[in-house]
Structure 1
Amino acid sequence: MEIIVLGASGTFPRAGGACNGYLVRHGQTNILIDMGTGVLSRLYDWLSPGDLDALVITHLHPDHFLDIYPYRYYLEFCARDKLPLQVLAPTGASDYIQRLFNEPDPTKFGEVFSFSDLQGVAGKNIGGLALTSHEVPHLKPTYGMTVEADGRRVFYTSDTAFDESLGKIADGVDLLLAETTLTAAQVGTPVAHMTTTQVGKLASEARVDRLLLTHIWPHFDRQTILEEVRAEFNGKIDLADEGLVIAL
C-alpha cells in the first residue's frame, strides 16, 4: 500500500501547493481521499484521473472537496466508459455540492457520480483496500478514515479537535496521517482542530509507527510545527509535501 500526498494545506493552498488530497494505491486499486483545491491537477502526475476506483470526501468543508466539480466535467467528457464513479461522503453531500455549484443537469451529475453514505462504513472492501469510517469532532458530520491492506493500517484523522477516542482508533497503526493545524501556543483556540502538542501526544500514546503531519496552515512556519510535534513524539515524523510517497 502506498500513500501519495497530492495536497496538504489547510483552508487555502500554499504557493505552488494544494489543499487536502491523498491517493491510496494498492496493486491496481486507486482511491482518493479528499479532493481540495489543486488536487485534480496533481492527480495527473500519478494516473489518468478517470482511473480512480473510488473517491472519499471526509466532510463538506471546501478545502476537502472543491475539485470534485471540475472533476465532474473531466469524467463526463473524458472517461464516460468508466462511469459512474463511486463516491463515499457524508449524508446529503450530493445535493449540497449540486446546490453550491448551481449544477445545470442533476441527471447527468447522477450518471457521473454514485454517492453512498460514509456513516457506519466498516471494512468496506474496494480492490483489496478495507475502508472504515470514524466520526470525529469537527463539522457535523466529519469522518476520519482507516484504510487496511495486507496487514498494514493507516488512520487519517481528517479535520478534528483532539478527543480521547482518536487514541483508540490510532493504536498501533503503521501510519497516522494527522491534521496539525494549530501551534502549541494556540491551545484553547475555539476551532475544532488539533495543536502540535496534541498531535505529538496522540502519536506517542497510540504507539504509532510513523506520523505524517498535514492540514498545515500556509502562514505557519513548517519547521516550527515539526519541532513542536517532535517534542512530544520521538518516532518517525514527516511533513506532508505534495508528491511525498510513503510505502507501507
Structure 2
Amino acid sequence: MRITVLGCSGSVSGPDSAASGYLLTAPGTPPVVMDFGPGVLGALQRYADPGEATILLSHLHADHCLDMPGLLVWRRYHPNRPAGRALVYGPADSACRIGVASAECGGELDDISDTIDLRGWSDGQVVEIGELTVQARQVNHPPESYGFRVTSANGRTLVYTGDTGMCESVVELARGADILLSEASWTHAADRPEGIHLSGTEAGQIAARAGVGELLLTHIPPWTSREDVIAEAKAEFSGPVHAVSAGDVYVV
C-alpha cells in the first residue's frame, strides 16, 4: 500500500499545497482518496484517473470536501467518463453538503445520485475496497467526523486521524499502526480551543500511547510553524516523525 499526499494544508489551501487529500494505491484495488478538499481534484490527475476513484470523506468542513462538485463535473461531462457511479463514503449529510455546493443557483440542491453511490459512515463500521479493509471511528471534531484505519492484504496498517481533538477513540484507532497520519494544526499553546484540533504535542502523545511505528504530521495551516509542531511531536514520541508535503509518497 502506498499513500501519496495530494494536499496537506490545514483549514485552507496553502501556497505550496492543496487542502486535505490523500491517495491510497494497492494491488487489486481502485484508487482510494481520503478527503477531497480544494485543489485535490487537480493534484489527483497527476497520479490516477479521477473517474476511477473511490472517495472516503472524514467530515464535511470545506477544506476536506469542496472539490467534490468538480468530481461531479468530471464524471458527468468528461468525453471518456466511466460507466456507473462513483463510490463515496461520508457522514450523514454528505448528499446535502455536496448538492448545495454543486447546485446551479442559490437555494437549490443538485441531486447527485445520478453520479455518486453515496454510503454513510457509522462508528466502528468496516468496509472492503479491493484488497484494503477500512474501519471508521468517530472522533472529536465539531461536525460528524471520522478517522480511518486502513489495513492492506499483508496486514500493514495506516491510520488517518482526520480532524480531531484529543480523544480515546483516536488512540484506540491508532493502536499498533505501522504509520499514523495525524493532523497537528497548532502548537500546544494555552489559549488554543479544546475539542477541535491536535497540537504537535498531542499528536506525539497519541503516537506514543498507541505504539505506532512512524508518525506523519499533516493538516498544518500556513500560519502555523511546521518546525515547532515537529519539535513538539518529537518531544513526546521517540519513533520517526515527519511533516508531510504535497507530492510525498510513503510505502506502508
Per the shorter chain, which TM-score range?
over 0.9
* 1:50-199 matched pairs, under 5 angstroms: 50-52=51-53, 54-78=54-78, 79-103=80-104, 106-107=110-111, 109-120=112-123, 122-149=125-152, 150-186=154-190, 188-190=192-194, 192-199=196-203
1:45-84: CA deviations, max 9, x gaps? 11121121x1011111000001011111011112533330
- 1:240 corresponds, among 235, 240, 244, to 244
* Matched residue type, 2:102: F
Partners of 1:12 and 1:86 lie apart in 2 by 26
Name 1:6's counterpart in structure 2.
6
Partner of 1:221: 225
Unaligned runs of 5+ in 2: none
Between the aligned partners of 2:190 and 2:63, the Cα distance in structure 1 is 21
Residue range with higher mean Cα deviation, 18-27 or 161-170: 161-170
Aligned position for 1:44: 45
| Superposition deviation, residue 16 in structure 1 | 2.7
Q: Secondary structure at the match of 1:184?
A: coil
CA contact (8 A) 1:172 1:206 kept: yes
Structure 1 pair 221–120 and aligned structure 2 pair: CA distance change class (3 A): closer
- Please say if residues 59 and 139 of structure 1, whose CA atoms lie closer than 8 Å, have aligned partners that are also in contact: no
Shift of 1:102: 2.3
| CA distances 1:116-145 after superposition (whole Å, capped 9, x unpaired) | 001146331110110111000112310111
Q: Which letter maps to 2:212?
A: V
User: Is the CA contact (8 Å cut-off) linking 1:168 and 1:206 kept in structure 2?
Assistant: yes
Q: What is the aligned-residue RMSD (CA, Å)?
A: 1.7
Given that 2:185 and 2:224 are in contact with CA atoms closer than 8 Å, whether structure 1 keeps it comes out as no
Mapped contact 2:201–2:229 kept (Cα < 8 A): no
Q: Shift of residue 185 of structure 1?
A: 1.9
SS of the aligned residue for 1:125 comes to strand
Equivalent pairs: percent with the same residue?
31
Indicate how the Cα distance of structure 1 residues 214 and 186 shifts in structure 2: closer, same or farther if over 3 A, else same: farther
AA matched with 2:63 = D
Q: Judge conservation of contact 1:31–1:55 (CA < 8 Å) in 2.
A: yes
1:9 maps to a residue whose letter is: S
Shift of residue 191 of structure 1? 5.3
Partner secondary structure for residue 59 of structure 1: coil
Q: CA deviation at 1:154?
A: 1.1
Work out whether residues 158 and 178 of structure 2, in 8 Å CA contact, stay in contact via their aligned partners in 1. yes
Alpha carbons of 1:186 and 1:103: their partners in 2 closer, same or farther (altered >3 Å)? Answer: farther
**Conserved 8 A contact 2:5-2:247:** yes
Query: How many pairs were matched up?
Result: 246
On the 8 A contact 2:16/2:246 being kept in 1, the answer is: no
Q: Which amino acid is 1:85 matched to?
A: A
Tell me the TM-score normalized by structure 2.
Answer: 0.92
List alignment gaps of at least 5 residues for structure 1.
none
Any runs of at least 4 consecutive aligned residues in structure 1 with deviations exceeding 4 A, and if so which? none
Superimposed CA distance per residue, residues 20-60 of structure 1 (whole angstroms, 9 cap, x where no aligned partner): 001111114210010001111110111121121x1011111
